[in-house]
Amino acid sequence: MGSGTVQGKMARGALWLMLLTFVDRGLGLLSTLILARLLTPADFGIVAMALSFVFLAQLLAAFGFDVALIHKQDASEAHYHSAWTLNLLLGAVITLVSLAAARPIAIFYHQPAVFWVLCALALGPLIGGCENIGVVAFRKDLEFRKEFRFQLSRRFIGSAVTLPLAFYLRDYWALVAGTLAARLAGTITSYRVHPFRPRLSLTEVTSLMKFSKWMLLSNILGVLKERLSDFFLGRLAGAHALGVYNVSYEFANLPTSEIGAPVNRALLPGFAKLTEPSAVLAAYTDSMSIVALIAIPVAAGILAVAHFFIPVVLGLRWISGVPLMEVMAVGSLMMVFQSSISAVLLGRGYPKIITQMNFVFVLLLAVLMLALVPRFGALGAARAFSLTAALIMPLYLYHLRRLLGMPVKTFLLAVARPLTSSIVMVVCVRSFLPEYSPMMATLNATLWLLSGATCGAVIYVAIDALLWLLVGKPAGAERALLDQVIPRLARLVPRRQTHG
């Protein structure tokens, strides 16, 4: 398969998965917005405390067998059977470990309610372990349209359960039921969308472990990157602070979850198929510049309007999350680029390097959490997250240059225009918007939020377009975007004339 064909499938796959993520996360965020109005931060905190241990227990199964199958181009059915069997066995072990630890965890957090919540959520790993491993082939074969349908059907079913329960139960059990429903929907749907039928087998365990031993360590550290704050905040600051932090993080993390994650999901199997180093570097440069064009202004926009977004959208009970969201928006942006570098290195067969960088990240994060959380609470955790992401970024750029040959200058040039335009946009929007006051009418606050978001988008597009024109309209994200948009607009014009 030629590199051009692979790169084309990678680009189309990124678009499909970005569309999937927008719809998927849109439904998820809608659920969060509804629940934020119906529940208290403490409700979210209790579920986060239970989930923190479930995620920690899932480290036992963090071998990344799906990535191993994607990376191994000659994987046979025996490899798929062995991967499914291992997932099933590990899922059962995690369920048993979670049930056994439910009472000690509730005592650790001083929250009796965590016991029953953890007992219920313990079923999730077992359900997920039964999922049809055959759906990995969608990504491996770059069939992202099928991946889109599978993931979307799972989200719709999960939301169909969560939203009605949110109105009926009015407590944290709606979150628990929604989480389990999504896992069950994914498992059932996986057998409907792919004909592969796994069976118990361990014949290819050794082969899978050659790659997955590093994925285990990397995924362990990856989970700690995401959930370390749960243990620090839950223990030192309580359920309320943890709930505010997690909801603020969910929205601040939009650049990573909505833009970076789907692009990386599409690029990883493509990078594994490409053979020429120049083609890998070109594919990564193109994708990274497009991600920068979109992700940087999204993060900047979150920072610019956070002081209106939280009280208007989530409600006044979440107002303490404003500074958290502003701080974490910066860290989340850096995580976008770090995750994209990880995707290309993983696709090229460097899981050990990713593991090492994750270890440094977790170690630094733990030190900063210990220093900042006791003094500043949830805001200290937010500062620790963003400061860690900033301090670790040079290490990612170093490995990008050493292993792929991309000069740091090339990376900086790719982000220069979006970053400059976003800085101008933030300054203008923050100067334009007044300070939020609890005495402000809801309608007025909503209008200010919409005005700020609209003005920010217009300013960003105008400044970026101006800078692009001033430097001579070079090839890059702007040119790629126009090449996609202009032909489509041109095809619309004859149709309108015909029907007119």
Q: Determine the distance from the C-alpha atom of residue 14 to the mean position of all C-alpha atoms in its chain, rounded to a whole number.
A: 14
Nearest to 372 by CA among 251, 47, 326, 364: 364
**Which ranges in 39-112 belong to alpha helices (H)?**
41-57, 65-71, 77-109
- Apex CA 335: angle with CA 329 and CA 339, to 5°? 150
Which residue reads 């050990």 in tokens? 352
Sign of the Cα pseudo-torsion (421, 422, 424, 428, in order): positive
| Non-local CB neighbours of 401 within 8 Å, separated by 6+ positions | 407, 408
Q: Do the beta carbons of residue 271 and residue 7 sit within 8 Å?
A: no
The pLDDT of residue 500 is 43
Nearest to 113 by CA among 18, 44, 24: 44
Token readout for 472 is: 């001579």
Nearest to 331 by CA among 294, 395, 381: 381
One-letter amino acid identity for 106? A
Burial class (CB within 10 angstroms; exposed 0-12, middle 13-18, buried 19+) of 96: middle
One-letter amino acid identity for 289? S
From first to last of its 500 residues, what are the pLDDT tens digits of the chain? 444 454 444 445 455 455 555 565 566 566 666 667 766 777 777 887 877 777 666 655 555 666 666 666 666 778 888 888 888 888 888 888 889 888 988 888 888 888 998 899 888 888 888 888 877 766 666 565 666 666 666 667 766 776 777 777 777 787 788 778 888 888 888 888 787 888 888 777 777 666 555 666 666 777 677 777 777 887 777 778 888 888 888 788 776 665 656 566 555 555 656 666 777 777 777 777 878 888 889 889 989 999 898 888 888 888 888 999 999 988 888 888 888 888 778 777 777 788 888 889 989 999 999 999 888 888 999 999 999 999 999 999 998 888 877 888 888 888 889 999 999 999 999 998 898 888 888 888 889 999 999 999 999 999 999 999 998 888 777 776 776 666 655 665 555 444 44
One-letter amino acid identity for 434? P
Q: What does the DSSP assignment read for 420-444?
A: HHHHHHHHHHHHHSPPP-TTS-HHH
Q: How far apart are CA 412 and CA 434, in angstroms?
A: 33
Nearest to 320 by CA among 388, 238, 389, 390: 238
Q: What does the DSSP assignment read for 127-172?
A: HHHTS-GGGHHHHHTT-HHHHHHHHHHHHHHHHHHHHHHHHHH-ST
| Cα–Cα separations (whole angstroms), residue 350 to 353, 399, 486 | 6, 10, 39
DSSP 275: -
DSSP, collapsed to helix, strand or coil, labels residue 303 as helix
Q: How far apart are CA 59 and CA 226, in angstroms?
A: 12
- Apex CA 139: angle with CA 418 and CA 130, to 5°? 125
Token readout for 266 is: 């599409």
| Cα–Cα separations (whole angstroms), residue 90 to 86, 87, 136 | 6, 5, 18
One-letter amino acid identity for 313? V
